[in-house]
Amino acid sequence: MGNTNVAVIFYSMGGTNYQMAKWAAEAAEAKGAEVRVLKVQELAPESVIEGNPAWKATVEATKDVPVASSEDIEWADALIFSTPTRFGNVPSQMKQFLDIQGGLWGSGKTVNKVVSAMSSAQNPHGGQEATILSLYTSMMHWGAIIVPPGYSDASAFSSGGNPYGTSVTVDQDGKMVEDVEAAVKHQAQRTVTTAEWVKQGNQ
């Protein structure tokens, strides 16, 4: 059986979800997966980004990261999403990426993709869980296989106890409040393991 293909797809304004995506990629690669770290297309006007130093710095830091495409989804056995919350939902940038996959969905190419998601917000109850669940709703329409971390590892508790997907609080200085690295890596490896089972079953 060949390597499991994993697309880690993120949207990030302040760098938090980019860091989480990198941790997920590191853990997936440690499990032997072939990994692509990908960003969704930025939709905000450059004039708005220029007025926000952290946002501008993140755009610069991720300038060489490829933009996710439908081909990446088709290639992947597993998809790991990392996205901030916007009013309890995914940002418009991530939503557009999901919305333009109608061609793949219509041809059945999203069926049985193994999916997991992570999120962040500026306060502990700022919509992280709702954002992950909103993304999972789309994945149900895709016919994907959702892999939440649950409480399958002790890292879930030290990172805040979110069973739907790792989430983190970001303070006013842009720093992560909870220590989520271990939880992100466990979630990524659990996703890869499940994708391996699904792929083996389809051989």
Number of other residues whose CB lies within 10 A of the CB of residue 52: 14
Q: Check: CB of residue 11 under 8 Å from CB of residue 83.
A: yes
Nearest CA-CA partner of 78 in 6, 165, 3: 6
Q: How far apart are CA 115 and CA 193, in angstroms?
A: 12
pLDDT digits (tens, 9 = 90+) for 79-118: 999 999 999 999 999 999 999 999 999 999 999 999 999 9
Q: Which domains does the chain have, with CATH numbers?
A: 5-201 (3.40.50.360)
Residue 160 predicted with pLDDT over 70: yes
- The whole-chain average pLDDT of the chain stands at 95
Q: What is the pTM of this model?
A: 0.96
| Residues with Cβ within 8 Å of residue 146, at least 6 apart in sequence | 115, 116, 136, 139, 140
